[in-house]
Amino acid sequence: MAVSLKELSKKAEGLSSGHRACPGCTAPTAMRMILNAAQAPVVCCFATGCMEVSTTIYPYTSWNVPYIHNCFENSAATMSGVETAYRALKKRGKISDDIRFIAWGGDGGTYDIGLQSLSGALERGHRMLYVCYDNEAYMNTGIQRSGATPRGATTTTAPAGEASFGKQQNKKDLTAIAAAHGIPYAAQAAVHAWRDLMTKVQKALDVNGPSFINVLAPCHRGWRIKPEDGIKISKLAAETCYWPLYEVENGVWKLSFKPSEKKPLDEFLLTQGRFGHLKDPKHAGTRAELQKWVDDRWAALLERTKGTQA
């Protein structure tokens, strides 16, 4: 399955320009790619969050596809109902169109308060794609820590200071949690790797059942990076193996990208202001722990995907 730039250039945009996301925000870039990758008409629902707020400020909308705004915690439940209604109406002959369904949420609405809704939808087997745009904190409400925030990052609710080095816990492995439901397709992607992301979206929408894609989308406000550096930081996340790119098709784990030379984690960490305090020599041990965490997870993924690189 190949994504053709020529064909993509002919497609109408699913997400219009003129929205109010921050300049340099990578999440709308990911959203545009995902909508453009869809080969059938789509219906979307979106959990409350920065991308919902910035694209649907009443009375305006940037969405050129059918769109539902739902609560922070129930994007997957909302789309479960829509998909069930569609199947019922199609069975009765009232709908003939072939339609796909995409539920969206940020990491706060997915890793944390929406996890039970997501888990239920995956377990029930609804034919829908759930996309998490992961910017690693509750960015819309003030950069509070979430289950996606990495250890050592400073946030407004887990600040670095004299008594703390920032968040104490490691990031939750949500992609593996989704895959553990035994769904047909789950994947991890990043905004810099456009062809990989769009190919994964097409695979996800083709399966007859639930699918899940977790997309790393750096937030320059929360990560304390330059607005123009989001794509560069996303690439470093993959090259340091902090954010591996892989997919799980029918239980088979496949590596999507293996760097020719794995870069040290510091190249990712120390370019971001949220980790700036870790430059202090007193935090050398924390940086070493983070490097080991990345190395151990990467080694486990290599073992799990041995001989199955996509």
Amino acid letter, 46: F
pLDDT of residue 309: 63
pLDDT of residue 271: 96
Strands (E) in the chain, as ranges, are 42-47, 67-70, 100-106, 129-134, 185-190, 211-216, 246-249, 252-255
13-304 belongs to CATH 3.40.50.970: yes
310: pLDDT strictly greater than 60: no
pTM of the model: 0.96
| Assigned token pair, 202 | 């097409």
Q: Provide the pLDDT confidence category of residue 132 given band limits of 50, 70 and 90.
A: very high
Other residues' Cβ atoms within 10 Å of the Cβ of residue 63? 18
Tell me what the mean pLDDT of segment 141-161 comes to.
97
Q: Are the CB atoms for 272 and 233 separated by under 8 Å?
A: yes
pLDDT 10s digits, 84-114: 999 999 999 999 999 999 999 999 999 999 9
Strands ordered across the beta sheet of 185-190: 67-70, 42-47, 100-106, 129-134, 211-216, 185-190, 246-249, 252-255
**Cα dihedral across residues 227, 229, 231, 236: positive or negative:** negative
Residue 105 is given by DSSP the state: E
2: pLDDT strictly greater than 80: no
Q: How far is CA 59 from the centre of its chain?
A: 27
Tell me whether strands 211-216 and 246-249 are parallel, antiparallel or unpaired: unpaired
Tell me what the mean pLDDT of segment 251-267 comes to.
97
Q: Provide the pLDDT confidence category of residue 157 given band limits of 50, 70 and 90.
A: very high
From CA 236, how far away is CA 239, in angstroms rounded?
A: 5
Q: DSSP letters along 71-92, please?
A: -TT-HHHHHHHHHHHHHHHHHT
Tell me whether strands 129-134 and 246-249 are parallel, antiparallel or unpaired: unpaired
Q: Provide the pLDDT confidence category of residue 9 given band limits of 50, 70 and 90.
A: confident
